[in-house]
């Protein structure tokens, strides 16, 4: 079994919890409250800035030119394409770029991005590969699930289509291969990779909860 599949098997209960989360179920049917979706848009915009940083940091740790090039290209793609998509989502609801850039991160968003950036800085390339994997594979699997249960087209259909697109599948395929390569090259890192993977998978689930409850600071 490929190491990426081993990680998914270990985190299967987290995947199932994500699929059953009300944010996911209600987005799939089009019933999700607009403010919950906009909370996700705002917070994920801030998340993606750090996600791009993680790929850039990982690129500096890669030992071969091909991996380094691809990691840095992904960082650019996140900044150039993915964030532009979020700006389009936001613009549909009257939220401009300046507002997105001024959003304060929620406690969950801070916890997740801080963990990712710290792993990229202090951990190995293998740990970083495992840490970024739940976001990519998770969104593909959750969006596929949404597509299966969506009764018809609705206002959130573009979200589902984006994360089930051929381009996104190709990106996740590379991410999966990257995890497998690291698993093969660094067998002594398997335990650390699993810990990073499960931590980020749990934070993915918490991110849906954060958006659904419109999490804010108490003070």
Helices (H) and strands (E) in the chain, counts: 12, 0
Alpha-carbon distances, residue 97 vs 40, 93, 94 (angstroms): 15, 12, 10
Residue-wise over 32-51: b if at least 16 C-beta within 10 A, else e? Answer: beeebbbbbbbbbbbbbebb
- Per annotation, catalytic residue among 109, 135, 182, 200: 135
Is residue 135 flagged as an active site residue?
yes
> How many CB atoms are closer than 10 A to CB 72?
16
DSSP 214: T
- Which one of the listed residues 127, 189, 194, 204 is annotated catalytic? 204
Active site annotation includes 204: yes
What's the CA gap between 219 and 200, in Å, rounded?
A: 26
Residues designated catalytic: 135, 204
């Amino acid at each position: 079994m490929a190491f990426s599949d081993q990680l998914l098997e270990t985190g299967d209960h987290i995947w199932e919890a994500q699929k059953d989360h009300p944010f996911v179920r209600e987005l799939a049917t089009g019933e999700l409250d607009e403010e919950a979706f906009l909370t996700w848009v705002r917070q994920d915009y801030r998340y993606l800035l750090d996600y791009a940083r993680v790929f850039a940091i990982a690129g500096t740790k890669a030992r071969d030119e091909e991996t380094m090039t691809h990691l840095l290209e992904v960082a650019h793609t996140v900044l150039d394409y993915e964030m532009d998509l979020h700006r389009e989502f936001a613009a549909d609801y009257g939220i401009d770029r300046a507002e997105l850039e001024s959003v304060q991160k929620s406690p969950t968003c801070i916890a997740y991005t801080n963990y990712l950036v710290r792993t990229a800085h202090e951990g190995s390339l293998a740990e970083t590969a495992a840490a970024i994997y739940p976001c990519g594979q998770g969104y593909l699997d959750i969006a596929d699930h949404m597509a299966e249960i969506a009764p018809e087209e609705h206002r959130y259909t573009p979200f589902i289509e984006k994360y089930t697109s051929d381009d996104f599948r190709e990106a996740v395929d590379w991410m999966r291969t990257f995890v497998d390569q690291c698993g093969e090259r660094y067998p002594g890192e398997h335990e650390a990779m699993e810990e990073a993977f499960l931590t980020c998978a749990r934070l993915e689930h918490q991110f849906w909860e954060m958006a659904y409850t419109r999490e804010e600071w108490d003070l």
